[in-house]
């Protein structure tokens, strides 16, 4: 007998158009078939191959995508008053401790309205046109289109008619309830009205965005349904915070793979000493190799109804997958009331260590211990995690090997640190945390 599990929570408002009934009503400049093809948007066409890491002479400067285009456009929308509040006026602090959780006090993020019911036992749900989706968003909330330019270098065009493109348009829009400065939404192939589910092409788009930003502090995230996604229309989130996330500092333990799988060059590890259990995927010969391995794992999870969150960090070189069960526990009444009272919905950013708190008392008293306690409820148990991990490996054709990996210099059982500073490219600034 199938039990339908639901929880009540206040949904986050991602767009100013979210609350207006569900009417398609146009005459506005929306992102639907009625308006988008007939209008023009700026287009950022990223380079197809990521091999050439150095900016070409006539190409765009390396900081153009992030600093000039994304942040400049975002600041412009701030000036236009499109955000529900000024996120830079929200108190933020790094909590003292080993991992350095980041706490933010944001009393305005959540609506002061009645919570809605969310079904939490179905990770895959069909797209409903009647409900809010991103085709209803006004174009003023869109910063630019983001698509594959097909060439060796990236280029930017300020004003491109949306009909003229070989690709269905994918857009970057603002999140009107930002967690941090520069918080945006990446909506792949917006007109295709894809439900919230990972597919290889869309995931690769997200990886390319991380690569174009070329900053270890610009991360992308994904929440599946049942893991606190608010809208059932395929989207990734991204923002910029110049401190390492706790999850990026946690040690990992490499999972040795059978030699034949090493062709893709992807390294898989288990996250250690962190409240939420997760898998870490790194390297890969190409971005696509890495993306494909991760996508396969996600597809297994969503097909088998395991809610999960994904964090893309280190400019697309490092990806975390967190299967979770908080919503299920909440629906079954297994979460303690005081945790529920914080009203924290542990989605990808919270799990990574950036926690938005609604009440001042929670913010003042926030500690590494309290953060750990909250996140521990989100994690699968060790037993269940190992089960899921085994299934993922089986389902994606990866084989865990018992042998020591000959090509790897480190001992497979040694923990390796994974803070952004250790990555291959030059880190952005040397932060010395107290």
Partner 1 sequence: MESSGGAPPAEERRLLAASLTARYSDWVLEELDELPGSFLLTDPAMSGHPIVYASRGLASLTGYRPRDVLGRNARLFQGAATDRAAVAGVRDAVRCQRAHQVAILNYRRDGAPHWVLLHVAPVFHAHDGRVLHFLAVQVPIAAAPRRRAAPCRRPPVFAACREEARVEEELPCASHAGEAFVDIDKRGLETTRWLEAGEPRVASGCDKEKALSTANSIFSALNRYSKLTGLVVCGKRCDSAGIPALSSSLNLSLGRIKQSFVLTDRHLPDMPVVYASDAFLSLTGYSREEILGCNCRFLNGPGTSLEVLEEINRNICCEQACTVHLLNYRKDGLAFPDLLHVSPIRNASGKVGLHPFQVAFHVWVHLDESIKHDFNGLSPEVWQLGAVGAVRVAVRSLSASGSLLRPSQ
Q: What is the nearest approach in angstroms of partner 1 to the Cβ of residue 247?
A: 16
CB 35, min distance to partner 1, A: 23
**Residue among 98 and 404 whose Cβ is closer to partner 1:** 98
- The CB-of-376 to partner 1 minimum distance in angstroms stands at 24
Q: Which residues bind partner 1 (CB under 8 A)?
A: 42, 60-61, 63-64, 67-76, 79, 88-94, 100, 102, 156-158, 180-182, 217, 240-243, 428-434
Least separation in angstroms between residue 240's CB and partner 1 is 5
Nearer to partner 1, 92 or 418 (CB): 92
- To the query of whether residue 235 is one of the catalytic residues in this protein, the response is yes
Measured from the CB atom, is 209 or 255 closer to partner 1? 209
- The DSSP code sequence of 211-236 is HHHT-TTEEEEEE-TTTT---SS--E
Shortest Cβ 42–partner 1 spacing (Å): 7
Helix (H, G, I), strand (E, B) or coil at 327: helix
Pairing of strands 415-416, 266-271: unpaired
Q: Which two tokens stand for residue 381?
A: 């148990």
Nearer residue to partner 1 within complex by CB, 326 or 349: 349
Spatial distance between the Cα atoms of 312 and 416, rounded to a whole number of angstroms: 19
Number of Cα atoms under 13 Å in the Cβ half of residue 22: 7
Question: Residues 110, 183, 208, 235: which is the catalytic one?
Answer: 235
What is the distance, to the nearest Å, from the Cα of residue 200 to the centroid of all Cα atoms in its chain? 15
Which residue is listed with tokens 């917006």? 190
Angle formed at CA 279 by CA 274 and CA 283, multiple of 5 degrees? 120
Residue nearer to partner 1 on the CB measure, 369 or 433:
433
CA atoms within 13 A on the CB side of 71: 13
Cα 288 to chain centroid distance, Å, stands at: 18
Cα separation of 224 and 219, whole Å?
17
Q: Report CA dihedral (230, 352, 263, 51) to the nearest 10 degrees.
A: 90
Catalytic residue IDs = 235
């Amino acid at each position: 007998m199938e039990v339908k599990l639901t929880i009540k929570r206040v949904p986050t408002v991602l767009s100013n158009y979210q609350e207006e009934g569900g009417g398609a009503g146009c005459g506005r400049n929306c992102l639907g078939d009625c308006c988008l093809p007939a209008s023009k948007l700026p287009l950022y066409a990223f380079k197809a191959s990521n091999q050439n890491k150095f900016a070409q002479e006539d190409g765009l400067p390396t900081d153009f995508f992030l600093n000039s285009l994304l942040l400049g456009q975002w600041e412009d929308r701030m000036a236009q008053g499109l955000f529900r509040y000024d996120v830079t006026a929200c108190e933020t602090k790094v909590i003292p401790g080993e991992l350095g959780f980041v706490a933010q006090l944001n009393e305005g993020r959540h609506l002061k309205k009645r919570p809605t019911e969310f079904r939490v036992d179905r990770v895959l749900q069909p797209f409903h046109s009647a409900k809010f989706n991103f085709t209803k968003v006004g174009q003023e909330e869109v910063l630019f289109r983001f698509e594959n330019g097909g060439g060796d270098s990236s280029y930017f065009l300020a004003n491109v008619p949306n009909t003229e493109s070989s690709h269905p348009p994918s857009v970057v829009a603002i999140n009107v309830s930002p967690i941090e400065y520069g918080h945006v939404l990446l909506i792949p192939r917006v007109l295709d009205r894809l439900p919230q589910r990972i597919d290889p092409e869309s995931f690769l788009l997200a990886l390319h965005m991380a690569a174009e930003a070329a900053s270890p502090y610009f991360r992308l995230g994904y929440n599946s349904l049942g893991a606190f996604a608010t809208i059932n229309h395929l989207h990734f989130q991204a923002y910029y915070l110049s401190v390492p996330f706790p999850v990026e500092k946690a040690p990992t333990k490499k999972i040795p793979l059978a030699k034949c799988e090493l062709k893709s060059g992807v390294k898989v590890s288990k996250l250690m000493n962190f409240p939420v259990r997760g898998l870490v995927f790194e390297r890969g010969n190409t971005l696509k190799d890495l993306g494909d391995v991760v996508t396969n794992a996600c597809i297994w999870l969503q097909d088998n109804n395991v809610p999960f969150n994904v964090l893309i960090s280190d400019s697309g070189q490092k990806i975390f997958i967190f299967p979770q069960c908080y919503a299920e526990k909440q629906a079954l009444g297994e979460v303690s009331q005081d945790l529920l009272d914080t009203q924290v919905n542990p989605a990808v950013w919270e799990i990574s260590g950036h926690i938005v708190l609604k009440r001042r008392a929670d913010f003042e008293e926030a500690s590494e211990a309290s953060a750990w306690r909250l996140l521990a409820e989100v994690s699968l148990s060790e037993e269940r995690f190992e089960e899921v991990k085994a299934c993922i490996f089986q389902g994606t054709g990866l084989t865990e090997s018992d042998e020591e990996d000959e090509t790897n210099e480190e001992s497979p059982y040694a923990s390796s640190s994974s803070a952004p500073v250790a990555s291959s490219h030059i880190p952005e600034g040397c932060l010395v945390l107290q």
